Amino acid sequence: MKLHNWIAGKAAAPSAGEYLDNVDPKTGDVCGQIPRSNADDVNAAVAAAKAAPLLSVLERSELLTAVADALAARIPQLAELEALDTGKTLAATTAGDIPRAIDNLRYYAAAVRSDSTSCNQMEDGLNYTLRQPLGPVALITPWNFPLHLFTWKVAPAIAMGNAVVAKPSELTPSTATVCAEVFSEVGAPSGLLNVVHGLGHEAGAPLTVHPDIKAVSFTGGTVTGKAIAGVAAPLLKKVSLELGGKNPSVVFADCDLDAAAAGVARAAFFNTGQVCLCGSRLIVERCIHDEFVQRLQQQIERGDWTPGKSMGSLISWQHREKVASYVELAKEEGGTVVCGGNRVGPPKSAFFQPTILTGLPIDCRVATEEIFGPIVSVHPFDSEDEAIAMANFVEYGLASSVWTSDLTKAHRCAARIESGMVWINTWNKRDFRVPFGGMKQSGVGREGGRYSMEFFSQDRNVCIQL
């Protein structure tokens, strides 16, 4: 399968004629090729975006709904492509990733129709606010939820009247390409949604500094996010950064143990631990430490998180090497591998066992660096203050979960843990309307609901002398 860029409403080969291999992480085999685009391709895509006509609110809403309907008719195809690119199970992409990606389009198709601005009356004057598009925007997305994170940005950007140049991850290019084709199929004007494939430093970097790009919305690693902020901020582009996490699951002895064990395992191993929200540090009250670890282990043993069956692979064998190196590091740092810790499957595949580590100090590298794999380190605490201090120890601040039956304690913890999102007795429960984003090194800005709509627009006040 040879993919193409999508520029000005049609397929475009990369200007240099070069391609990159797309690799199936379940086998390590090459399964296709993607354009290796450069600044020339980016320039063509931005020029197409700049020339795209502005649609009315109703037209944008109807377009997003039509795209959602067309994608819904292709769920099996999209789910298969997503599973091929990412190594996820087909069950996960069919029931989770693709429907969720479609919901993003439906949500913003509806939300933009009820968007309103304020009117502020003075004794002798009247102010009203115009909400206007920014112009062409750059959307740079990662590989862990390819179509979901693509539409999570494309939908509000287009709903608010902007044309888009998107750079999906070079590791997961397929579903974004189909989505761009679908936009044209259902009648999107030429240039409204452009997709440029390629490597970050070759295709992503020129996009972030292009003079006609008014805003950059990025989801990915903290190192890349800082590099993008470093070049886009001095050009005074609007920048939204959703970055990494090293999130705590804080478990008190008074919690519902069954619910907490299931929730904490999900937080640790969902999507093979490749979610910025993943609870990769389990901070558990000392008196239930051993029992809780046992409960986690039981779920693994009974097959809830079996690589290749109930859990997909990692994104690549290279990433698996990185994840595996942290298990070796954990041993050097004094930790015990309670279970897992090994590569499984064919040599060039990316399967890795769900892994529980104990006995590690809270300040070691394994417990402070983002691993982005199915590894959870377990740390006992004796008091609420100690639990909070441990939760806040890392430089990240994206998400956390607190497990307790004491609601007062839960509220206290929610206000004290330094993270943009706190879940109480649940994990990754998502509502489109709520702010999504992180504190500290986890990013800048918020996405979701009106937050994304505000990011992808600019307000202009008009004041009339009465």
CB of 144 to ligand TXE, least distance (A): 5
Give the residue from 367, 436, 42, 327 showing the smallest Cα distance to 210. Answer: 42
Using the rule CB under 6 A, is 366 a contact of ligand TXE? no
Question: CB-wise, 161 or 220, nearer to ligand TXE?
Answer: 220
DSSP 381: E
| C-alpha distance across the termini of the chain, in Å | 64
> Minimum Å distance from CB 85 to ligand TXE?
13
Binding part of the chain for ligand TXE, among 87-95, 116-124, 214-222, 422-430 by CB under 6 A, reads 214-222
The active-site residue, picked from 170, 179, 255, 276, is 276
Nearer to ligand TXE by Cβ, of 183 and 372: the residue is 372
- How far apart, in Å, are the Cα atoms of 380 and each of 120, 290, 341, 361? 54, 10, 21, 10
As measured in angstroms, the least distance from the Cβ of 319 to ligand TXE is: 6
Size of the site for ligand TXE (CB under 6 A): 25
Q: How far apart are CA 199 and CA 254, in angstroms?
A: 49
436 binds ligand TXE (CB under 6 A): no
Q: How far apart are CA 164 and CA 213, in angstroms?
A: 9
Residue the block writes with tokens 């102010």: 127
Q: How far is the CB of 406 from ligand TXE (least distance, A)?
A: 32
Helix (H, G, I), strand (E, B) or coil at 210: coil
242 near ligand TXE, rule: CB under 6 A: yes
Task: Locate 180 and state its tokens.
Answer: 């761009």
Stretch near ligand TXE under the rule CB under 6 A, chosen from 22-30, 123-131, 237-245, 413-421: 237-245
Rounded CA gap, 325 and 328, in Å? 5
CB closer to ligand TXE, 43 vs 458: 43
Residue among 66 and 193 whose Cβ is closer to ligand TXE = 193
CB of 302 to ligand TXE, least distance (A): 29
3-state SS string for 315-342? CCHHHHHHHHHHHHHHHHCCCEEEECCC
Binders of ligand TXE among 153-172, rule CB under 6 A? 167, 169-170
φ, ψ dihedrals at 443, nearest 5°: 140, 180
- Look up residue 94 and give its DSSP letter: I
* Catalytic residue list contains 18: no
Does 52 help bind ligand TXE (rule: CB under 6 A)?
no
Indicate the residue type of 402.
V
Let me know if 276 is a catalytic residue: yes
Q: Which of 174, 184, 224, 299 binds ligand TXE (CB under 6 A)?
A: 224
Specify the stretch interacting with ligand TXE by CB under 6 A; choose among 76-84, 223-231, 385-393, 423-431.
223-231
* 372 near ligand TXE, rule: CB under 6 A: yes
Residue 201 binding ligand TXE, by CB under 6 A:
yes
> Tokens 């979610």 correspond to what residue?
275
Please name which of 139, 147, 170 lies closest in space to residue 14, comparing C-alpha atoms. 170
Closest distance to ligand TXE from the beta carbon of 116 (Å): 32
Which segment (8-16, 221-229, 345-353, 450-458) binds ligand TXE by CB under 6 A?
A: 221-229
Catalytic residue among 242, 333, 418, 447: 242
Q: Kindly identify the residues of this chain, within the stretch 110-129, that bind ligand TXE according to CB under 6 A.
A: none
Taking the mean position of all CA atoms in its chain, how far away is CA 321? 22
From residue 126 to residue 145, what is the string marking binding to ligand TXE with x (rule CB under 6 A)? --------------xxxxx-
For strand 30-35 and strand 19-23, is the pairing parallel, antiparallel, or unpaired? antiparallel
Considering only CA atoms, which of 356, 360, 381 is closest in space to residue 286? 381
DSSP notation for 170-219: TTS-HHHHHHHHHHHHTTPPTTSEEE--S-IIIIIHHHHH-TT--EEEEE
Sign of CA dihedral 366, 370, 373, 375: positive
CB closer to ligand TXE, 224 vs 299: 224
Position closest to ligand TXE via CB: 200
CB distance 183 to 154 below 8 Å: no
Q: Contact positions toward ligand TXE, by CB under 6 A?
A: 140-144, 167, 169-170, 200-201, 204-205, 208, 219-221, 224, 227-228, 242-244, 276, 370, 372
Q: Would you name the residues annotated as active-site residues? A: 242, 276
